[in-house]
Amino acid sequence: MFFLTNFYKMTLQFVDLLIIFGYLVLTVFIGFIISKKASKNLDSYFLGGKTIPWYMLGLSNASGMFDITGTMWMVAIMFIYGIKSVFIPWLWPVWNQVILMVFLAVWMRRSNVLTGAEWLKTRFGDSRGTKLSHISVVIFALVAVIGFIAYSFEGIGKFAIMFLPWDLSVSILGFMIPSERMYALIIMGITTLYVVKGGMYSVVMTEVLQFLVMTVSCILIGVIAMNLVSPEQLHAVVPSGWDNLWFGWKLDLNWTTFPEQVNQALNAKIGSDGYELFSVFMMIVIFRGILVSIAGPVPGYDMQRVLATKTPKESAMMSGFVSLVLFIPRYFMIAGLAIIALVYFEPQQLLADGQLDFEKILPFALKNFIPAGVLGIILAGLIAAFMSTFAANVNAGPAYIVNDIYKKFINPNASNQTYVRMSYLASILVVVVGISFGFFVSSINDILQWLTAALFGGYAASNFLKWIWWRFNGYGYFWGMIAGLVASFLVPQLFPDLSVILAFPFIILPLSTFGSVVGCLLTPADDEEVLKSFYKTVRPWGFWKPIDQLVKQEDSNFKPNRSFKRDMLNTGIGVIWQMALIIFPIFVVIRQYNNAIIAFVVIVITSYILKVNWLNKLENE
């Protein structure tokens, strides 16, 4: 967890507090002023009636991904691994936005549904296997959303107490609630107000504001870092190869520039992370990245933004826009904080009980190098990062409760107003349950690693096969999801010392794949009419030949999807484009201007190729 434990207590000026307070008031005002648009029906509440412009959905999606905890983790890995650290987030993987952009968002949006669970009916029909699959996706979505809310609750409290000056600790019925918990309750309560009241409309409009505030904050930190740290100062404290993007079979990064105790801790960290054989790490990451990305986004706010676009073409444009606007400002902040820490920290300050403690990077930089007024903007931006991620999850999770449980199984004939009121209740319920877990969880960092690695890894096999193989049915999907969920729960318990990187290809993926294939082959194929309808509507490529022949017998004018090679080429170009967007601001901040120019040229060339070979060929539907 990259927040303050033994923290610097900042003294905020009146102008800083005014900026923070003004931002919070404006956020709630925007949420309430547009809330009437959300009250028409479920489609309006959770998807904005599919009327919100794609570029605003893109800004909203980017804002939701701008998680400050993840940003601080990337600051930590850049401190240790240098520019090569940009490859490590491929674990998540960051490519999912590229594959969504190139083809997957279009496939998803053609289904014209409200949630990921509802989408299953378009693929598997209305069989018993579909019902079981439906339940597994709802469980998965709610587990993920509640986990992220618990993670946000723990993180934002520790972050807020770093700079807000008041002691808010209270005792309720003999139970002491410390200040950090009270701050978390207040900030999350404010966010919940506008999310519950305004649904997707409020989330998107406030997240656009939040993204603009965060972008200004990131650029300010990058500029301040460039003025504080010269290339000579940076080279004096980093090991050979730290500022080089390329690598060989091994990482070959040996820290010797700090005192011996710090060097040993840094080198031990590299060994314990398992990145020393960097080429092996990259092979696993690339394999996992392709598989998980084609599987598609987990049922959450990313998928919700895709389903909320007006057309399939706009869903693809929205997904591409996320990468374009997210990475450059975010990496201005990451690189700026990392180089300030490298040059101005006393090395011993990184050690706490013999362990590296990166929680001190952010407060150190803010306390010592950010002027009044600017500090208020940056702190408002960091609060915005938390609020946007939290708001996106609060709006996504209740859709599964109301649409996929209440409407489907309990009250299918209720009025729109009843469904909207149930959405209010479901939103509050999700927040309360998530915060309750946050009170009792001891290690939020462990939750994050489990969510992003083990849980999402178990999601991959079923969701990869559902797109590309006609014979894959609802039973196979259900058993694959259950096997993945069970594996994600059991592996950390049975093999606590096993790296999640190795657990995915050798345990979690084989178990979930086995469940998927065996569950599928031991049960009948899905209804041909359902498969033909899905194939004609979504038009995926893959192993669909028997269904393709049936469709052509009925409709000789049907044109199947033959763009597999083009999609794979565009995906490869898109990965290069995305990487150039990431490394360009880093090279600017560390003042390697020649490399920055090369990265910019790569951005221009790949953007042109993508325009010609992807954007110009998107269909208007």
Nearest CA to 358 out of 71, 94, 93, 84 is that of 71
Residue that the structure tokens 């606590």 belong to: 496
User: What is the pLDDT confidence band of residue 235, given thresholds at 50, 70 and 90?
Assistant: very high
Instruction: List all residues 6 or more positions away from 138 whose beta carbon is below 8 Å from its beta carbon.
Output: 117, 400, 404, 405
Which pLDDT value is given to residue 435? 80
Which pLDDT value is given to residue 1? 33
Task: Please spell the DSSP secondary structure of 155-211, one letter per residue.
Answer: HHHHHHHHH------EEETTEEE-HHHHHHHHHHHHHHHHHHHHHHHHHHHHHHHHH
Element housing 413 (H / E): none
On the CB side of 25, how many CA atoms lie within 13 Å of its CA? Answer: 6
Which pLDDT value is given to residue 14? 81
Element housing 425 (H / E): helix 416-440
Residue that the structure tokens 């096969």 belong to: 465
Digit-coded pLDDT (tens) for 192-206:
776 666 566 666 777
Element housing 352 (H / E): strand 351-352
| Backbone dihedral angles phi then psi of residue 543, each to the nearest 5 degrees | -95, 75
- Answer with the residue of higher pLDDT: 584 or 398: 584
Q: Which amino acid is at 465?
A: L
Residue 543: strand, helix, or coil: strand
- Answer with the residue of higher pLDDT: 144 or 536: 536
- How far is 416 from 41, CA to CA, in rounded Å? 5
Instruction: List all residues 6 or more positions away from 359 whose beta carbon is below 8 Å from its beta carbon.
Output: 1, 2, 3, 4, 5, 7
What does pTM read for this prediction? 0.82
- Per-residue pLDDT for 604 more than 80? yes
- Per-residue pLDDT for 167 more than 70? yes
- Per-residue pLDDT for 232 more than 90? yes
Lowest mean pLDDT among 56-70, 136-150, 356-370: 356-370
What is the mean pLDDT of the segment spanning 162-171? 76
Percent of the chain with pLDDT over 90: 26
Which pLDDT value is given to residue 506? 81
Digit-coded pLDDT (tens) for 454-498:
566 667 888 899 999 999 999 999 899 888 878 877 877 787 777
- Answer with the residue of higher pLDDT: 280 or 441: 280
Nearest CA to 526 out of 461, 478, 456, 589 is that of 478
Element housing 281 (H / E): helix 278-295
Which pLDDT value is given to residue 361? 66
Q: How far is CA 566 from CA 252, 280, 562, in A?
A: 37, 28, 9
Q: Are 203 and 392 in contact (CB under 8 A)?
A: yes
Nearest CA to 123 out of 462, 539, 482, 531 is that of 531
What is the mean pLDDT of the segment spanning 149-162? 73
- Answer with the residue of higher pLDDT: 174 or 176: 176
CATH number belonging to domain 14-441: 1.20.1730
Q: Are 78 and 575 in contact (CB under 8 A)?
A: no
Average pLDDT, the chain: 80
| Backbone dihedral angles phi then psi of residue 506, each to the nearest 5 degrees | -105, -15
Q: Are 165 and 8 in contact (CB under 8 A)?
A: no
Which pLDDT value is given to residue 3? 34
- Answer with the residue of higher pLDDT: 2 or 15: 15
- Per-residue pLDDT for 611 more than 80? yes
Lowest mean pLDDT among 212-221, 390-399, 578-587: 390-399
Nearest CA to 282 out of 485, 575, 598 is that of 575
What is the mean pLDDT of the segment spanning 340-367? 68
- Written as six digits, the tokens of 222 are 């990058």
Instruction: List all residues 6 or more positions away from 352 whose beta carbon is below 8 Å from its beta carbon.
Output: 5, 6
Residue 408: strand, helix, or coil: helix
Highest mean pLDDT among 32-36, 208-212, 221-225, 249-253: 221-225
Q: Which amino acid is at 327?
A: F
Element housing 356 (H / E): strand 355-356
Residues 344/345/347/348 CA torsion (nearest 10 deg): 150
Distance of CA 557 to the CA centre of its chain: 40
Which pLDDT value is given to residue 68? 66
Output the CA torsion sign for 48, 50, 56, 58: positive
Digit-coded pLDDT (tens) for 256-284:
888 887 788 788 878 777 777 788 878 87
DSSP conformational letter for 527: P
- How far is 455 from 504, CA to CA, in rounded Å? 10
- Written as six digits, the tokens of 297 are 């986004």
- How far is 561 from 352, CA to CA, in rounded Å? 57
Lowest mean pLDDT among 165-169, 202-206, 253-257: 202-206
User: What is the pLDDT confidence band of residue 33, given thresholds at 50, 70 and 90?
Assistant: confident
User: What is the pLDDT confidence band of residue 445, given thresholds at 50, 70 and 90?
Assistant: very low
Q: Which amino acid is at 597?
A: I
Which pLDDT value is given to residue 131? 82
What is the mean pLDDT of the segment spanning 141-149? 77
User: What is the pLDDT confidence band of residue 43, given thresholds at 50, 70 and 90?
Assistant: low
Cα-based angle 602, 615, 296 (whole degrees, multiple of 5): 90
327 CB neighbour count, 10 Å cutoff: 24
- How far is 515 from 619, CA to CA, in rounded Å? 36
Q: Measured in Å, how far apart are the chain's first and last C-alpha atoms?
A: 45
Q: Are 411 and 173 in contact (CB under 8 A)?
A: no
- Answer with the residue of higher pLDDT: 525 or 275: 525
Output the CA torsion sign for 207, 146, 159, 496: negative
Element housing 59 (H / E): helix 54-65
174 CB neighbour count, 10 Å cutoff: 5
Which pLDDT value is given to residue 548? 95
User: What is the pLDDT confidence band of residue 448, given thresholds at 50, 70 and 90?
Assistant: low
Q: Where are the domains of the chain?
A: 14-441
Residue that the structure tokens 């404006």 belong to: 26
